[in-house]
């Protein structure tokens, strides 16, 4: 039966496509005109090309030579050039990422970049439309508003060509396929690709389906088989070219995560005063004690206890599609907290929209709590609001030496981790409440 959208649905779709057009246009300008444009894609692109030339992609010097030999330019600003070399031209991608990018590495960089931009745009828009299709039947205006917020703030993931754009899109599409019971084998392939590129973005979603039982467990196991089939040849290929690749990968990660470096969550990080700051709980605890042993342990304990409690409840509860969307909303928020994530990884918050819309339509007492928390989570991890807040912070020269400065930074200027924690706890509580009888 052919779907005939109502007038309100047509207006909502127009808003979604306009939001998509804005992020594609703005992101394309960043990607094609900025010195740092497509920086994340360049790392995996030249890594794959180095492998194809039997060179070690995990050696930063090899990557920089490949970039410069291809006519790559650096910013005339020495600090920006240093940051680009330190953050972008260091390979921390898994072998499977380079295997999947290898066909694009056969092309010139500009053409490969255009293909990658098209894939990112198509993936994000498709994921957004699928989630909108689930949510709009419960709350058309609320779901359209939330998804428009997300789409309007995809400039960084699009402009930098970060792998998170594809990873999140594929993960969201797979969840839709499994729960709506449509194109399920395509969902298996999507989730497998997502897992082997950036497992810390989609592993908890996969784990939920594994615990949920029934056909969902079958799909999760099929996903694991496909992921292994992709990973084994990639690891063999990289191991043949670079036998020490695991040690080199660890060394690259250690350099980027060192105190004061790019991925350091603490206040001395190179990106702490930028919109692209780390949104895991480590960035909160590091303000009060900048010691990795302290802030890592605190983050693991808080996030881990919540996730373990949720996993136990999933095992004991009867599966329903509505409860599954609520569980995925909790997972989407909480998965950002225990380990390194940035704002572009938080686009997985698309998975919170169906749960929010369901509560908006069925629970008058909780509809505003769900709507406000979900909206705040999307806004606090969004590119434009983060840029505005950090510009204000830098202009006011808010320091983090005093307790007042620390609290102000956490609550006002770096609110994402605490808002994500509150959102995850809220949806986890809703999941516990709804499954209390069946458990």
**Residue 345 within a domain:** yes
Low-confidence ranges of the chain (pLDDT < 70): 1-3, 437-439
> Which pLDDT belongs to residue 307?
96
**Residue 326 within a domain:** yes
> Which pLDDT belongs to residue 68?
84
> Which pLDDT belongs to residue 2?
64
> Which pLDDT belongs to residue 262?
84
> Which pLDDT belongs to residue 247?
93
**Residue 342 within a domain:** yes
**Residue 30 within a domain:** no
> Which pLDDT belongs to residue 158?
86
Domain count for the chain? 1
**Residue 361 within a domain:** yes
Structure pTM? 0.94
**Residue 50 within a domain:** no
Q: What is the pLDDT of residues 46-91, one digit of tens each?
A: 999 999 999 999 998 888 888 888 887 777 777 777 777 777 778 8
> Which pLDDT belongs to residue 1?
53
Q: In terms of residue numbers, what domain contains 292?
A: 275-439
**Residue 304 within a domain:** yes
Q: What is the pLDDT of residues 93-117, one digit of tens each?
A: 999 999 999 999 999 999 999 999 9
3-class SS letters over the chain: CCCCCCHHHHHHHHHHHHHHHHHHHHHHHHHHHCCCCCHHHHHHHHHHHHHHCCCCCCCHHHHHHHHHHCCCCCCCCHHHHHHHHHHCCCCCCCHHHHHHHHHHHCCCHHHHHHHHHHHHHHHHHHHHHHHHHHHCCCCHHHHHHHHHHHHCCCHHHHHCCCCHHHHHHHHHHHHHHHHHCCCHHHHHHHHHHHHHHCHHHHHHHHHHHHHHCHHHHHHHHHHHHHHHHHHHHHHHHHHHHCCCHHHHHHHHHHHHHCCCCCCCCCCCCCCCCCCCCECCCHHHHHHHCCCHHHHHHHHHHHHHHHHHHHHHHHHHCCCCHHHHHHHHHHHHHHCCCCCCCECCHHHHHHHHHHHHHHHHHHCCCCHHHHHHHHHHHHHHCCHHHHHHHHHHHHHHCCCCCCHHHHHHHHHHHCCHHHHHHHHHHHHHHHHHHHCCCCC
Q: What is the pLDDT of residues 168-192, one digit of tens each?
A: 999 999 999 999 999 999 999 999 9
> Which pLDDT belongs to residue 69?
85
**Residue 8 within a domain:** no
């Amino acid at each position: 039966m052919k779907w005939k959208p109502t007038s309100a649905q047509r207006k909502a779709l127009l808003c979604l496509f306009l939001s998509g057009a804005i992020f594609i246009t703005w992101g394309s300008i960043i990607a094609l005109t900025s010195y740092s444009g497509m920086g994340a894609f360049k790392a995996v692109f030249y890594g794959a090309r180095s492998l194809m030339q039997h060179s070690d992609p995990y050696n930063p010097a090899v990557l920089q030579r490949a970039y410069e030999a291809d006519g790559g330019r650096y910013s005339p600003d020495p600090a920006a050039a240093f940051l680009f070399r330190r953050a972008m031209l260091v390979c921390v991608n898994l072998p499977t990422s380079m295997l999947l990018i290898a066909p694009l590495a056969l092309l010139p960089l500009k053409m490969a970049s255009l293909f990658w931009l098209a894939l990112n745009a198509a993936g994000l828009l498709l994921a957004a439309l699928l989630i909108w299709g689930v949510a709009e039947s419960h709350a058309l205006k609320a779901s359209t508003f939330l998804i428009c917020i997300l789409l309007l703030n995809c400039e960084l993931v699009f402009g930098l060509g970060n792998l998170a754009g594809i990873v999140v899109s594929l993960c969201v599409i797979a969840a839709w396929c499994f729960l709506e019971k449509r194109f399920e084998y395509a969902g298996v392939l999507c989730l497998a690709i997502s897992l082997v590129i950036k497992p810390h973005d989609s592993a908890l979603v996969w784990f939920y389906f594994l615990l949920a039982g029934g056909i969902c467990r079958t799909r999760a196991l099929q996903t694991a088989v496909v992921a292994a089939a992709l990973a084994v040849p990639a690891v063999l290929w990289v191991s043949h070219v670079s036998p020490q690749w695991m040690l080199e990968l660890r060394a690259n990660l250690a350099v980027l995560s060192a105190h004061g470096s790019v991925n350091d969550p603490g206040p001395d990080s190179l990106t702490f005063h930028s919109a692209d700051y780390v949104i895991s709980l480590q960035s909160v605890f590091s303000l009060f004690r900048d010691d990795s042993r302290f802030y890592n342990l605190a983050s693991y304990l808080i996030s881990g206890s919540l996730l373990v409690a949720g996993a136990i409840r999933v095992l004991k509860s009867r599966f329903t599609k509505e409860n599954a969307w609520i569980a995925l909303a909790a997972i989407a928020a909480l998965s950002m907290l225990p380990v390194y994530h940035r704002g572009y990884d938080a686009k997985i918050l698309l998975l919170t929209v169906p749960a929010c819309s369901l509560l908006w339509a069925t629970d008058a007492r909780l509809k505003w709590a769900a709507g406000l928390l979900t909206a705040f989570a999307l806004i606090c991890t969004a590119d434009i609001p983060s840029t505005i807040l950090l510009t204000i912070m830098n202009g006011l020269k808010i320091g983090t030496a005093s307790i007042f400065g620390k609290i102000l930074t956490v609550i006002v200027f770096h609110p994402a981790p605490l808002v994500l924690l509150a959102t995850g706890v809220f949806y986890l509580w809703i999941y516990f409440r709804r499954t209390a009888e069946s458990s």
